[in-house]
Chain A
Amino acid sequence: MPTPHPRRRAIAALCATLLAGSLLAACGSDDDKTDSTANGGAGDSNGQITLSVGLFGSFGFEEAGLYAAYEQAHPNIKIRQNSVQKEEVYWPALQTRLGGGGDLDDIQGIEVGRIVDVATNQSDKWLDLNQFGAQTQTGDYLPWKTKAATTKDGKVVGMGTDVGPMAICYRTDLFQQAGLPTDRAELAKRWSTWDGYLEVGRQFAANAPKGSAFMDSVTGMYNAMIGQQPTSYYDAGGKLIYDTNPSVKNAFDTASRAAQDKLSAKLVQFQTDWDQAFAKGGFATISCPSWMIGYIKEKSGDGMGGKWDVAQAPGATGNWGGAYLAIPKGAKHAKEAYDLLQWLTAPEQQKTLFEKRGSFPSRTSAISQVSGTTDPYFNNAPIGQIFGQAAQAMPVQTLGVRDGDIKVSIQNALNSVEAQGVKPDDAWKDAKASVKAALG
């Protein structure tokens, strides 16, 4: 090894020290960077403001052209959307940012399964929307929608976007091949109860086209049944009752029975296999909250247009999913963010979102506007009327703090019944143990 000149070596040592220093500095400079974009966002000379919207899944604002319309009406506003596909990835990441206080978007989406937790345990981290005048809007919402987002002391932490009234979406071509009627009124009559739905399922299974099961997953059916109950996992006092509530156990048992009768394609919802099965005809029916309409179109592709149809669900009602928009404390432009939030959740925009994406309005004045909507992709089904009736009959649901975790634990147990052949009793025990681990 050639020996370098001492001075050169001293310089090298200096460089190493500088390098170490700059590495550390680089690590520390994340905050500076956020700040500088914040300042850039806060407005250059001509008062430009960039609002960031953090969402999960597909709210469809961008796809329905709402951002573009808002930007056109407000030339000083630019909207930037940060969307994460999976809610279970989006939410923990948002929680860390709320804890650390950094890099929050001006508007953040909240899933309905989280909203009570936010209103109960986290209201100090979100802005009370009443301070911007939300109270002028909340009267227009389905009552339970706003109630879930209201804290004990009357703060409103989020404004509703959509709700998920239930129907059954089905493939007319597969029904025809199985020798079943395809008319939506006729089918609705046959499956006016869940037992009727399973009966149609058994008839389908007897003559099913190769590679097609009756339903995608029994978890969808379970969620649909739970969505028809006024109380599910918690009682009105906030006490955990999921393991003693007969309607939860009934939904679990009915779904297990469907699994044991091999009526499902044994898929896990929102997984790749499930996505592929839409296009490949892996199942003939799916429990269909209105937001599923957009999902079915996207995953089935244009080729399936006209092959899908929508019929009233057993029980003719139910709610599954839906979301809120909220403004975290630490949002850089709270006032402008509220203006956008209020516009996005206004009746006009809720109507547009239903017509273009299938997200059903949570505001009564918008619900009355969409009753005439039909969808050519779904064989011109009167989706406005079907989902509208389901929404009108919706029970006032008691939501709980950890609804989401309980739902996931039970879903996993049901998946183990349908895909692994676990006995329903054992699966129910597993579900209870999981809930205990989750809430412990």
Chain B
Amino acid sequence: MEGRQGVRQGGVGLIRVTTPRLAAAPLTSGQRWRRRGSKAAPYSFIAPFFVLFAAFGLFPLIYTGYVSLHRVRLQNPDAMSWVGFDNYTTLLQDEFFWNSLKNTFTIGVISTVPQLCLALGLAHILNYKLRGRTFFRVAMLMPYATSVAAATLVFAGLFGRDYGMLNWFLGLFGVDPIDWFNEKWPSQIAISSIVTWRWTGYNALIYLAAMQAIPHDRYESAMLDGANRWHQFRHVTLPGLRPTIIFTIIVSTIGALQIFGEPLLLQGGTTGMNGGASRQYQTTGLYMYQSGWQYFSLGKAAAIAWLLFLLILIVIGINAVIARYRMKSAAAASSSAKETR
């Protein structure tokens, strides 16, 4: 996004330079060519993204839709037989599909909510003048730079029932070993903790950047009005962050709906593909993977992919409506507040 903005600025600057020369004399052919070239420049800058998107985003998306209307096995992907919307109707009656949606929802909630709250708190703390602030900021981003697989394998070791460090630690306080893989809520919490660990720092940095854009005089006037730190956070920082918070909520929601690597690798193997022995943490992304890569039903997997895509669109839509409604009511509240003042 930033890259594209940069290009647009460059384009504006270009026209400003050439305009005086245009007025002075009719164009030579070289100048005309150069002018056409310079008009094309912004497009050529953004072209790589759109070309790559068309090849690796749009085409697969549409082709997946096409596949989802067929019965296709991974062993013979060329032998497709048309089944219309059968894959979709079967899925809507499939208990495992609904189970996976429920798990996606619960894992999504217990990973996104704490993650964003923690990120907000961390960003607030890092916004103060701290010793070694840069170190903390970089350190926070480290989990984000770790691969899902590596992080999950390490966490899986920590969460091990018999020989895991976490249960050993809890045992020091007399807590009985918890089966972090086989029990429903512990396993979902284990997965959420990996997600939270990886993404909190990333969101904190986004919040931090937005916080630094809030004008300092607002804080000063709040202080003059006698607001303490908590009041400042609630009444100056949070309203100033609202668009950023909405952005992170949308991005995290999309991410949560796609959670896949962590549950696949927590136990690994065929149990991992199943989302636990009784699918207690099988997310929709994981069920899609199992359908395609363990059961080899590419048509069904494609149908799950499309349902997931539609679900994401719906959730984003709901998000946007709520955000707009809240913005409006907030604007109305502030204008009415001004009137009464």
A219 to chain B, nearest CB (A): 10
Q: Does B51 contact A (CB under 8 A)?
A: yes
Q: Does A81 contact B (CB under 8 A)?
A: no
With CB as the reference atom, state the residue of chain B lying closest to A93.
B293
Q: Does B28 contact A (CB under 8 A)?
A: no
Q: Does A189 contact B (CB under 8 A)?
A: no
Are B75 and A121 in contact (CB-based, < 8 A)?
Answer: yes
Please measure, in the bound complex, the distance between the C-alpha atom of A86 and the C-alpha atom of B9, giving whole angstroms.
Answer: 52
Binds B, one of A36-44, A384-392, A430-438: A430-438
Please measure, in the bound complex, the distance between the C-alpha atom of A440 and the C-alpha atom of B87, giving whole angstroms.
Answer: 10
Are B156 and A416 in contact (CB-based, < 8 A)?
Answer: no
| Residue of B45, B74, B269 with most chain A CB atoms under a 10 A cut-off | B269
Please measure, in the bound complex, the distance between the C-alpha atom of A27 and the C-alpha atom of B63, giving whole angstroms.
Answer: 19
Please measure, in the bound complex, the distance between the C-alpha atom of A1 and the C-alpha atom of B40, giving whole angstroms.
Answer: 21
Given A19-B48, A92-B74, A412-B278, does the pair A440, B90 have CB atoms closer than 8 Å? yes
Are A10 and B74 in contact (CB-based, < 8 A)?
Answer: no
Are A277 and B162 in contact (CB-based, < 8 A)?
Answer: yes
Please measure, in the bound complex, the distance between the C-alpha atom of A13 and the C-alpha atom of B297, giving whole angstroms.
Answer: 45
Contacts of A415 in B (CB 8 A): 182, 271, 277
Q: Interface residues of B toward A: which range?
A: 35 or more
Q: Does A98 contact B (CB under 8 A)?
A: yes
Contacts of B121 in A (CB 8 A): none
Partner of B14, one of A6, A88, A270, A413: A6
Are B51 and A20 in contact (CB-based, < 8 A)?
Answer: yes
Contacts of B48 in A (CB 8 A): 16, 19-20, 23
Partner of A99, one of B40, B76, B163, B295: B76
Interface flags, A263-282, vs B, CB<8A=1, else 0: 00111101111001100101
Interface flags, B252-284, vs A, CB<8A=1, else 0: 000000000000000111110110011010000
Are A438 and B179 in contact (CB-based, < 8 A)?
Answer: no
Partner of A272, one of B9, B45, B94, B157: B157
Q: Does B77 contact A (CB under 8 A)?
A: yes
B280 to chain A, nearest CB (A): 8
B32 to chain A, nearest CB (A): 13
Are A12 and B296 in contact (CB-based, < 8 A)?
Answer: no
Are A9 and B41 in contact (CB-based, < 8 A)?
Answer: yes
Q: Does A368 contact B (CB under 8 A)?
A: no
Contacts of B215 in A (CB 8 A): none
Partner of B96, one of A266, A427, A433: A433
Q: Does B52 contact A (CB under 8 A)?
A: yes
Please measure, in the bound complex, the distance between the C-alpha atom of A415 and the C-alpha atom of B183, giving whole angstroms.
Answer: 12
Interface flags, B101-133, vs A, CB<8A=1, else 0: 000000000000000000000000000000000
Contacts of A267 in B (CB 8 A): 162
Contacts of B280 in A (CB 8 A): 420
Q: Does A95 contact B (CB under 8 A)?
A: yes
Are A10 and B294 in contact (CB-based, < 8 A)?
Answer: no
| Residue of B17, B270, B293 with most chain A CB atoms under a 10 A cut-off | B270
Q: Does A419 contact B (CB under 8 A)?
A: yes
Q: Does A405 contact B (CB under 8 A)?
A: yes
Q: Does A3 contact B (CB under 8 A)?
A: yes
Partner of A95, one of B16, B74, B90: B74
Contacts of B300 in A (CB 8 A): 440
Q: Does A172 contact B (CB under 8 A)?
A: no
Are A13 and B269 in contact (CB-based, < 8 A)?
Answer: no
Q: Does A136 contact B (CB under 8 A)?
A: no
Are B277 and A412 in contact (CB-based, < 8 A)?
Answer: yes
Please measure, in the bound complex, the distance between the C-alpha atom of A117 and the C-alpha atom of B76, giving whole angstroms.
Answer: 12
B149 to chain A, nearest CB (A): 12
Are A3 and B17 in contact (CB-based, < 8 A)?
Answer: yes
Interface residue total, chain A, C-beta cutoff 8 A: 57
A403 to chain B, nearest CB (A): 14
Q: Does A17 contact B (CB under 8 A)?
A: yes
Q: Does A96 contact B (CB under 8 A)?
A: yes
Please measure, in the bound complex, the distance between the C-alpha atom of A95 and the C-alpha atom of B293, giving whole angstroms.
Answer: 9
Please measure, in the bound complex, the distance between the C-alpha atom of A413 and the C-alpha atom of B277, giving whole angstroms.
Answer: 6
Given A273-B160, A405-B295, A416-B277, does the pair A10, B78 have CB atoms closer than 8 Å? no
Are B163 and A10 in contact (CB-based, < 8 A)?
Answer: no
Task: Find residues 177-197 in chain A having any chain B CB closer than 8 Å to their own CB.
Answer: none
Q: Does A411 contact B (CB under 8 A)?
A: yes
Q: Does B81 contact A (CB under 8 A)?
A: no
Partner of A17, one of B16, B47, B182: B47
Contacts of A99 in B (CB 8 A): 74-78
Interface flags, B288-315, vs A, CB<8A=1, else 0: 0001011111001000000000000000
Please measure, in the bound complex, the distance between the C-alpha atom of A17 and the C-alpha atom of B78, giving whole angstroms.
Answer: 35
Q: Does A69 contact B (CB under 8 A)?
A: no
Are A13 and B277 in contact (CB-based, < 8 A)?
Answer: no
B307 to chain A, nearest CB (A): 15
Contacts of A20 in B (CB 8 A): 44, 47-48, 51
Q: Does B226 contact A (CB under 8 A)?
A: no
Partner of B296, one of A16, A95, A434: A95
Task: Find residues 110-155 in chain A having any chain B CB closer than 8 Å to their own CB.
Answer: 117, 121-122, 125
Q: Does B38 contact A (CB under 8 A)?
A: yes
B70 to chain A, nearest CB (A): 14
Are B40 and A13 in contact (CB-based, < 8 A)?
Answer: yes
B162 to chain A, nearest CB (A): 6
Please measure, in the bound complex, the distance between the C-alpha atom of A132 and the C-alpha atom of B47, giving whole angstroms.
Answer: 53
Please measure, in the bound complex, the distance between the C-alpha atom of A7 and the C-alpha atom of B268, giving whole angstroms.
Answer: 56
Please measure, in the bound complex, the distance between the C-alpha atom of A305 and the C-alpha atom of B340, giving whole angstroms.
Answer: 86
Contacts of B183 in A (CB 8 A): 420
Q: Does A68 contact B (CB under 8 A)?
A: no
With CB as the reference atom, state the residue of chain B lying closest to A282.
B162
Are A437 and B17 in contact (CB-based, < 8 A)?
Answer: no
Please measure, in the bound complex, the distance between the C-alpha atom of A115 and the C-alpha atom of B44, giving whole angstroms.
Answer: 52
With CB as the reference atom, state the residue of chain B lying closest to A20.
B48
With CB as the reference atom, state the residue of chain B lying closest to A19.
B48
Please measure, in the bound complex, the distance between the C-alpha atom of A354 and the C-alpha atom of B329, giving whole angstroms.
Answer: 77
Are B76 and A122 in contact (CB-based, < 8 A)?
Answer: yes
B110 to chain A, nearest CB (A): 20
Partner of B34, one of A10, A86, A265: A10
Interface flags, B147-178, vs A, CB<8A=1, else 0: 00000000011001111000000000000000
Are B271 and A96 in contact (CB-based, < 8 A)?
Answer: no
Are A86 and B182 in contact (CB-based, < 8 A)?
Answer: no
Please measure, in the bound complex, the distance between the C-alpha atom of A1 and the C-alpha atom of B12, giving whole angstroms.
Answer: 11
Q: Does A292 contact B (CB under 8 A)?
A: no
Q: Does B228 contact A (CB under 8 A)?
A: no
Are A420 and B278 in contact (CB-based, < 8 A)?
Answer: yes
With CB as the reference atom, state the residue of chain A lying closest to B295.
A438
A-B contact pairs, 20 of them (CB 8 A): A10-B41, A13-B45, A17-B47, A27-B55, A86-B268, A86-B269, A88-B270, A95-B296, A267-B162, A268-B267, A270-B269, A271-B267, A276-B162, A408-B294, A412-B278, A415-B271, A416-B182, A427-B278, A438-B294, A439-B295
Chain A residues in the interface with B (C-beta under 8 A): 1, 3, 6-7, 9-10, 12-13, 16-17, 19-20, 23-24, 27, 86, 88, 92, 95-96, 98-99, 117, 121-122, 125, 211, 265-268, 270-273, 276-277, 280, 282, 405, 408, 411-413, 415-416, 419-420, 422, 427, 430, 433-434, 437-440
4 smallest A-B Cβ distances: which pairs?
A20-B48, A415-B277, A13-B41, A416-B277
